Every structure is written in structure tokens, then in C-alpha cells.
Chain A
Amino acid sequence: MIPRKFEYLAPNTLAQALNMLRKYRDAKILSGGMSLIPMMKLRLVSPQYVIDINNIKGLSYIKMVGKTIRIGALTRHADIEHSPLIREKLPMLAEAAEVIADQQVRNLGTFCGSLAHADPAADWPANVLALDADMVIQGAGKRVVKASKFFKGPFETALKPTEILREVSIPIPDGPKVGQAYLKFERKAGDFATVGVASVLVLDKNNKIVRAGIGVTAVAPAPYKAVKAEQVLVGNVPSKELVEEAANAAAEMSDPSSDLRGSAEYKREMTKVFTRRSLKKALERAGVSI
């Protein structure tokens, strides 16, 4: 379990890192390394060049800019887990951080690295989809891609080989009543999700849902935004029946494969169960009972 030989590059600026990406075709960005290094050890990937971006200053931050929270490329899962700002504005992310792998992995693994790696069973994609985040991509120039356009397939994103995900900008859900929840079903602590559902609900004073965001992971080739379920919810006052309808809609959009985590049929069923529970929890946190 030893990686093949590679050349190690440690740029001090983002510009240098991007130059290296352009210069060396067979290169991989190393941020937290929690997915890359195990894959290199198993020789599933063997880049000739590893570009370690950990020495670049100014990429690790969680800050509020206007009505958004900005998270930098080198922000670790643990930073999010323990951030008072996140706990206040985007508690769902703190909740998700807690269930990613384990303490040690969270100390090194990065938020943006996980998103760029795009494991179809990872936790963060469901969250950024539900929150309608902007993915800030740096290449020769800067471009912004909506989370819903970012995930293309298993381990496939809108990132080009010469680009880096430098920041994620997340609009803070705002309204009279706001509820967020990330629920993950896992076989054991620290496992990748069998299914994970992130829900964000904003309701007006009359309990009408004005905004709904639902992100689902692990039950399709790529994480998806359960748009049909969101449509079911928006404009309506929540009820048990409405939640059930939304859960069914989210499950209908799933496209799971049968594997060690269970059959496709079972995973579809679990998508329904966990969408239901995730929505119920979000409503509960918004102070709305059904």
C-alpha cells in the first residue's frame, strides 16, 4: 500500500499553483489528502505531480460577507464543525461536519477538497445543493457556478483540469422562520452515507413555505437537488401529507445502484424515509409543527 513515485510541488501562491496545473498535465491538487492519499496508496490513481496547496496563505477562512458565508479552499471540516459563525448562521453545516468520517480526518480534510473530489456518497454536496451555494472557481480567470450545475457524475464536476475550487459562497437562508437539517444514514459511525438528505426551509409568518432546498447524496451517480420535492413544498403550508409527497418526489428522483450498502430498491425507500425525517426536523427547528 505504497503510492507510485511522484514529484512533489509546494506552491506558495494560488497563481503558482494554477501555473503548475497548466504546465503539468498529469497533476493532482493535494489539500486535505483524505481521499487522494488512500487512492494513491491503493495505486488507483498515480499522478506524476502532486501540487500541495497547504502552504498557500489566505485560503483558510469562514467569513460573513453581506448575506453570504464564504468558505475558503483550505478550510477543514473541523473548522466548520467548531465555528461559532457556522453554528449561528448555517447550523446544518456544523451538523454535517460532525458526521464526516472521524476527528482525525476532519482535522485535515477540507470542505472544498471534498466538493471538488465529488464522491457520490460524500456529505457536503447535499448541503451545498440544499443551500444553493455558489462555487467560486479559479482558473486563468474566475468563474462562479451554481452548486446545482457543479456535480456532473461520480467524481466528476464542472472543474476543468486547470482550475481550483477556491471558495464556496453560501447565501444565508433568511426569512421569518428558517429551519435546516442534515440527516445521514450510515452503516456505522464514520462510514460514507447510505443516504444523506439536507433540507433548508424558509417560511413566512403564515407558515407558508417560501423557499425550499433539498440536497440528496449517495443514491444517484451524482448528488442531486431534489427539485421536484422543492416544487411540491413551495407555496404551501406544511402538513404530514405534503411532507410525504415531497419525500416521494425526492425518492423518485433517485437513481441508486445496488451494492454493499443495500439494494437499489432499499436505498430508494431510505431516500423517502430520510427526506421525510430531514424535512420534519427542519420544520421543527423553524418552530412549525405538523
Chain B
Amino acid sequence: MAVRKRVEEIGKKRPVTVEINGQKYAFEVEPRLLLVHYIREYAGLTGTHIGCDTTNCGACTVLMDFNGKWKAIKSCTMFAVQANGKRIITIEGLAKDGELHPLQKAFWEHHGLQCGYCTPGMILAAAGYLMINPNPTEMEVRHGISGNLCRCTGYQNIVKAILAAAEEIRSSGKPVIE
């Protein structure tokens, strides 16, 4: 295999501060560190998973604040340095005061998970989508989570759970993410 000649100093560590689930984390990291590894290995929040190398599976989905708007992104396809100064919500930050988020409740209620590996990413992708479209049809939900692969459930109960959660969120009058 070809070996690249490299300047030793390249890619030195630099400070990166990220607010995750309302808590500030600050670590010195290499520029090449992927955000998902920052979350899992540095911040120690292992609820965010990794399922592929190519931005296809969505297991690493988290919410990121863009100018006051939460959006779902795949944290395996962003460098941690890019997230410097940003706010993030992971699966660990979804339940508030011991109360499960309506999406978490609905996934449980409707058997929307089997092995549970894709579940955190799936729930956050669903949250991201419901912020775009709070009253979706079944087909819209299916398109909304098309970037998240599940190998166990056949998606049927996931879709059911998201529709039920959407209904509950609408009737509660609360935002998807408070």
C-alpha cells in the first residue's frame, strides 16, 4: 500500500467545545476526529451509534442547533471541529425530568424496536422530521426517516409509533423539542 509522506505537525489537536444535552464539554481533539466519536468517546455518551461508513444508515443521527432551529444530522459525517460552539441533543437528552419523550414512549408502546441499535438515531430523525412536518401522512413519515436503516422491524411499527407520537405532540400543544 502506498504510504504518504506527512509533515509531523499536521493535524495538531485543538480545543473543541460542544454543548450536548445542555451540558458543556471541552476537549482537545484532532481535526480529523468525527463528531460521533467526540460524542461517544470523549463526552462518553454512547447512546449515539455507528452502523456504516458512508452516511447511509443514520444510526449516528443527532439534533444540532442551526440559528435557533434544531435539525437532524448524521454525526459520523461531520468533524468535531465543525461543531465547535454548537448545541447538540442526543438520545440521552430527550427525556425531561425522568419523563420519556412522546417518541420514546410511542416506540415502546408500539414495539417500534427489536435489537434497539438503530433506535436512538431513528427517534432523533423522527424528531427532526416532525419539526419540519408536524402532521405527516404515513408515506411522508416513511420518506422522513428514509435515511435511517433498521434491519429488524420492517419499519411497520416504527412508522406507527411516529404517527402516534406526532398525534400526541400535536394535541399537547408543546413543541417537538422544548
Contact = CB atoms under 8 A, between A and B. Distances in A.
Given A7-B11, A105-B74, A190-B147, A34 B55 contact: yes
Contact of B79 (A1, A4, A8): A8
Interface residues of B, number: 38
B82 A54 contact: yes
A1 B78 contact: no
Contacts of A34: 55, 77
Interface string B138-178: 00000111111000000000000000000000000000000
A107 B67 CA distance: 13
B40 to A, nearest CB: 14
A6 B11 contact: yes
B81 A104 contact: no
B74 to A, nearest CB: 5
Q: Which of A38, A46, A101 has the most CB of B within 10 A?
A: A38
Interface core residue of A34, A46, A103, A107 (most chain B CB under 10 Å): A103
Contacts of B112: none
Given A5-B30, A34-B77, A52 B146 contact: no
A63 interface: no
Given A46-B4, A103-B72, A107-B71, A82 B132 contact: yes
B38 interface: no
A150 to B, nearest CB: 25
A170 interface: no
Interface string A267-289: 00000000000000000000000
Nearest to A52: B82
Interface string B86-116: 0000000000000000000000000000000
Interface string A24-53: 000000100110011011100010101010
A5 B32 contact: yes
A3 interface: yes
Interface in B26-63: 30-32, 34, 53-56, 58, 61
Which of A34, A82, A101, A104 has the most chain B CB atoms inside 10 A of its CB?
A104
B120 interface: no
Contact of A104 (B4, B66, B125, B143): B125
A4 B4 contact: yes
Contacts of A103: 72, 125, 128-129, 132, 144-147
B58 A41 contact: no
Contacts of B6: 4-5
B20 interface: no
A7 B146 contact: no
Given A101-B147, A190-B147, A41 B125 contact: no
Contact of A1 (B53, B81, B147): B53
A8 B83 CA distance: 13
User: Residue among A3, A40, A42 with the most chain B CB within 10 A?
Assistant: A3
Interface of A: 1-8, 10, 30, 33-34, 37-38, 40-42, 46, 48, 50, 52, 54, 78, 82, 98, 101-105, 107-108, 189-190
5 contacts: A33-B78, A38-B55, A103-B125, A104-B74, A190-B147
Instruction: Name the 3 nearest CB pairs between A and B, nearest first.
Output: A102-B147, A5-B11, A8-B31
